[in-house]
Amino acid sequence: MLLTPLNWLFVAVPLATALTVAFAAFAGVVYQQRRTDRREAAAAQSRASVDLLTQSLLFAQRARALLLTVQVRTGLSESRDVLLHLRRPVDPMELHDWLQQGTRPLYDAWSSTWVSSSPALVTRGNAVIDACTGVLDAVSERAAARGPARLREAIVGRRADKDQEARLRAAVHALAVARRDYAELVRTETRKNPAELFFRAAE
């Protein structure tokens, strides 16, 4: 039996309506999924940014603690306490593990920035890590003492000289600037209003 034009109309209209509804439903699902993906990507970038800013600050504090440890655990008093078994000698592996407790979260945050942030933020994040390395270098690098200074170091322990203190201050300031630049770019990319991120004393 051949369908008349009127019968075709009765068939085509419901079919077109069903296809339209199906397409609209599919488009809605795709749109919602894309919104969810964007929210998750933004949340991941936010977590990475906050973690990098937090862990870089904690790393600098750990580096300062390392310098203090070097000052306390050297000299005649340290030798005496170790000789009398009042405390254990410094274990390089324990010191390494202690440093890893600070560097591992920092590197995790850095890696998260690499995989979840924009190219510009990756560049700023790399600058933060470079600045952290500069702080550690300032703490650990020091010219060998000679003459009377070497004798004094053997007696009272290792102390930071003026050059090392100046390098450390410069390295800490460089880290503060790198963290500020990174945070300002995060605020720009997330459309936050500009804010004064430095204390005046830090400039």
Per-residue pLDDT at 40 exceeds 70:
no
The domain limits of the chain are 47-202
pLDDT digits (tens, 9 = 90+) for 101-139: 888 889 999 999 998 888 999 999 999 999 999 998 888
Which tokens is 173 given?
């300031």
Percent of the chain with pLDDT over 90: 23
Amino acid in position 194 = P
* Alpha carbon separation from 125 to 23, 56, 97, 102, 119 (Å, rounded): 43, 10, 24, 17, 10
- Residue 171: pLDDT band by 50, 70, 90 thresholds? very high
Per-residue pLDDT at 48 exceeds 50:
yes
Percent of the chain with pLDDT over 70: 61
pTM of the model: 0.68
Distance CA 39, CA 91 (A): 46
Q: Say which residue, 13 or 1, is predicted with more confidence.
A: 13
Question: What's the confidence (pLDDT) of residue 168?
Answer: 87
How many Cβ atoms from other residues are within 10 Å of residue 179's Cβ?
23
